[in-house]
Amino acid sequence: MTVIHFSRGIPPREAIPSAAISECTAALLSTEADRVFQYAPIGRHTGDQELREQLGKFHSVDPDRLFVTNGSLQALDLLAAHLLRDTAEPQVLVEAPTYDRAVQIFERHGARVSGVPLRHDGIDLDVLKERLRTDVPAFVYLIPDFQNPSGVTTSEDKRRELVRLSAEYGFTILEDIPYRGLRLGGTAPTSLAELADSTDGARVLTIGSLSKVLSPGLRVGYVIGPADMPRALAVLAESTYLSPAPLLQAVAAQALSHGLVRENIERVRELLRPRHDAAVEAVRQKLGDVHLCVPEGGYYISVHLPVHTDEVSFLTAARDDGLALTRGSAFYPADAAPPPGTVFLRLPFQALDPEEFAEGVRRLAAAAERAE
Amino acid sequence: MTVIHFSRGIPPREAIPSAAISECTAALLSTEADRVFQYAPIGRHTGDQELREQLGKFHSVDPDRLFVTNGSLQALDLLAAHLLRDTAEPQVLVEAPTYDRAVQIFERHGARVSGVPLRHDGIDLDVLKERLRTDVPAFVYLIPDFQNPSGVTTSEDKRRELVRLSAEYGFTILEDIPYRGLRLGGTAPTSLAELADSTDGARVLTIGSLSKVLSPGLRVGYVIGPADMPRALAVLAESTYLSPAPLLQAVAAQALSHGLVRENIERVRELLRPRHDAAVEAVRQKLGDVHLCVPEGGYYISVHLPVHTDEVSFLTAARDDGLALTRGSAFYPADAAPPPGTVFLRLPFQALDPEEFAEGVRRLAAAAERAE
């Protein structure tokens, strides 16, 4: 029996335009080899200037507000160091479930990380407000578009309220938007950063990445924030890892300036559309009403699957049935958990063809039935 | 007046074989583009396997003992996180002077960093032993070959004693060896790691880098340690920045396997030799007996220059005389300083032609005379 992998959230090979990126690289090396194999110049640890300008255009923001990192995880790491360093016992609020590595990073930087339940349209605002009344966090970390791991997109109304709360209580929002470009239908809600621009006192930092829209191997992540942020993060970067590799930043700048990223986003959307549609259909048909939301893009659909056993036993049994699954409880911070009697399962559809996905869900349904 | 830059310790352009590295890159992309523009495979966050094998050959160690990082600064950052996390108020001992960014990293990870005076042949062992009697550090950080910033190489005798002390008191030694390959004369002392291999209970971790022997832009640093270390560091890396860029690791592996690194080391030595000789000669002639040592390689010669003024005034005056200098006190941890009545100056010779260096030293001598 072939194992079906509902596991890693990495781009399928065909979503990465390797040949075109190779061409960008070759063109660059013919003129810029001396520069890109040297250290980045002092004062340029905020990022390659051409890349900052291209990313500025891409996001319609001033390039001076951009800071480039070695992948967006490094952005989270530097931001956590920056935002948490002057606070004793800082608290960070996250969606529950959320991206597990983000929680690990915040904890490593000394934060107490607490989960606020995620609904089909974003974080539970009643619970959040209740929390804010007793304790204002250093920041709230959100993945508002096609969230990893749940697939949930935060609604326009909730975004407006979140930004208003940021201004009222004086906390920062980190919005992490690696999947935002991968919308397959519906209308994109306004980004939190854009809403903050028109809200006095609101503070939103945006974390972006080229991993899902161009190439993860380039390791290009970035932060968009106020104009004083890049310099502050550069000081930290200089005593962490200096800078991302100049060559890869220059390649990313070329790819953006040649329109390769926009072009590739269209290609990836076409690639994802049938996989997405089949995934939504398969989950609805075989598992019923257990999905957290119907995602309108991204990589993931997710479920709270009712089972009458514990998670480890369920995953072990599922593995014997030919299913590779990620442990869903790992996506919850320590003080949160899936609803009682369920396991949380992230089902990435981006790399599975429709038949594979449907077969995987069939196996899942059978496993759940046996576990009842 | 042209400013003479006694400032950054970066390789001169002509020390980086950009054209040959470009060729390695092009060759790689013709066959490996799909792989290197994807995420590194899970389980390969210890580093590209081919690179680990090539580095293993280069250092005559088992590849399983190697962990690859995004530049050697990132290695220091991950090692500090790893070695300091389970200790309350950990202490770290460093040479005084030492590499300033290393001190910043250790402090950021919660260490109290204390300096032990550096002599012409390495750290002052009497002072070190005195310290060890009252307080055993989490680790001792050493740059034993052509130290940045002083140029000092730790003698064979001191190395043996350091390794013996590591075993006796049970502390780890971090030896950082970016310049070790750049020896221009004399005999290389045994590496601390090699001495530790034959000393029961001694523990040495080695930090290496391709920045000074191949290219800083590739951002390839690495750690050599016991076989259980790479996996432990990979877990940390996975919640810091995942991995260095696969493409650049693969390029470095190619450069090593084609003998490009050894070839380039020979080239760089030939390039450095006249600059080194002229620098030593100029310092002796114009400044007298104020150098910390006569370096046998690397990038730096350094001086404790007697002045009758404070450092800031001296550097300001020197700048007016056309000298760009790095603030020498920055190379001392908070509890250490240059001898009273002197300023510490690092004089990098790797990027200056003999006439420039000599002219710089003439200006320095004049500035010191005026400041007396």
Quick: pLDDT tens for B213-234.
999 999 999 999 999 999 999 9
CB contact under 8 Å between B10 and A70, yes or no, is no
Q: How confident is the model at residue A40 (pLDDT cuts 50, 70, 90)?
A: very high
- Chain A CB contacts of B104 below 8 Å: 239
Residue B35 pLDDT exceeds 80: yes
In the structure, how many helices (H) and strands (E) does chain A have?
12, 12
How many contacts (CB atoms, under 8 Å) link A and B? 137
Tokens of B186: 């004399």
Name beta bridge partners: A300: A348
Q: Read off the pLDDT band of B314 (50, 70, 90).
A: very high
User: Distance between CA atoms of A208 and A176, rounded to whole angstroms?
Assistant: 6
How near does any CA of chain A get to the CA of B84, in Å?
12
pLDDT above 60 for A372: no
pLDDT of res. A8: 87
Structure tokens at A239: 């005593």
pLDDT per residue over A311-321, tens digit each? 999 999 999 99
Judged against a pLDDT cut of 90, whether residue B268 lies above it is answered with yes
- Please report the ipTM that was assigned to this predicted complex: 0.95
- The minimal CB distance from B239 to the residues A39, A101, A243 is found for A101
Cα distance between residue B238 and residue B233, in whole Å: 9
Average pLDDT value for residue range A282-303:
96
Q: Indicate whether A156 pLDDT > 90.
A: yes
The alpha-carbon gap from A13 to the nearest alpha carbon of chain B, in Å, equals 7
Inter-chain contact B239–A108, Cβ cutoff 8 Å? yes
Contact A37 B26 (CB under 8 A): no
- Confidence tier at A1 by pLDDT (50, 70, 90): confident
User: Which pLDDT belongs to residue B345?
Assistant: 98
Q: Do A247 and B244 touch (CB under 8 A)?
A: no
Domains annotated on chain B, with CATH: 4-15+262-371 (3.90.1150.10), 18-259 (3.40.640.10)
Question: Which member of B13, B21, B37 has the closest CB to residue A21?
Answer: B37
- pLDDT given at position A299: 98
CA of A237 to nearest chain B CA: how many angstroms apart?
A: 10
Rounded-to-integer distance, Cα B214 and Cα A249, Å: 20
Handedness of CA A348, A350, A354, A355 (dihedral sign): negative
Sign of the Cα torsion A175, A177, A178, A184 reads: positive
Identify the helix (H) or strand (E) that includes residue A325.
strand A323-325
Percent of chain A scoring above 70 in pLDDT? 99
Q: Do B39 and A239 touch (CB under 8 A)?
A: no
Set of chain B residues whose Cβ sits within 8 Å of the Cβ of A244: 70, 219
The more confident residue out of A8 and B75 is B75
pLDDT tens readout for residues A332-346: 999 999 999 999 999
Which of A10, A30, A245 shows the shortest C-beta gap to B245?
A245
Contacts with B328 (C-beta within 8 Å, 6 or more apart), sequence order? B97, B149, B302, B311, B338, B343, B344, B345, B346
